[in-house]
Amino acid sequence: MSPALDERDRIRAAMDRILAGTPERSNGALTIVALAIEAGVPRNALTQRHLDLKTEFYEHVKTRGGIPEVETRLRAKIVTLKTTIANKNDEIARLKADVQGFLAENTRLTLENQELRDLLSGKNTDVTPLRALTGR
């Protein structure tokens, strides 16, 4: 028997044990990691060489009505990350609005400052002071 066939046979036997609830080497979780441990093969044997067996395992899990624990964890993480992204997007929108307000105020103050400098230097002939600039 070739090594690949022996490996496939071990994976199928491990799949049967896990699905029957009688694992010998693993914790019996419905995951590829547990299947690889149960079969005594490296995880990449299922994720790279025997993708059909990985797919078959997950199909058996789904037909039993179970959702693999890893999928449940990932779905929960996705919900958390989507909430985080939405909160960050709201914060970014508020900060962008603040930036526009700050830029407008900065422009107004810059123009006002320039007008006051022109007034003090006597360059601005359009402005007539209401009182003398000399102090009392």
The two three-digit tokens of residue 103, written as one number: 């830029």
- CA–CA distances in Å: residue 51 to residues 6, 15, 48, 56: 16, 14, 6, 8
Q: Which pLDDT tens digit goes with each residue over 43-96?
A: 998 889 899 999 999 888 888 776 767 777 888 999 999 999 999 999 999 999
Give the whole-angstrom CA distance, residue 9 versus residue 45: 12
Residue recorded with tokens 């071990």: 10
Q: Which amino acid is at 39?
A: A
User: Is 28's pLDDT higher than 80?
Assistant: yes
pTM score > 0.85 for this model?
Answer: no
Q: Where are the domains of the chain?
A: 3-66, 69-124
DSSP string, 59-124: HHHHHTT---HHHHHHHHHHHHHHHHHHHHHHHHHHHHHHHHHHHHHHHHHHHHHHHHHHHHHT--
Q: What is the mean pLDDT of residues 92-104?
A: 93
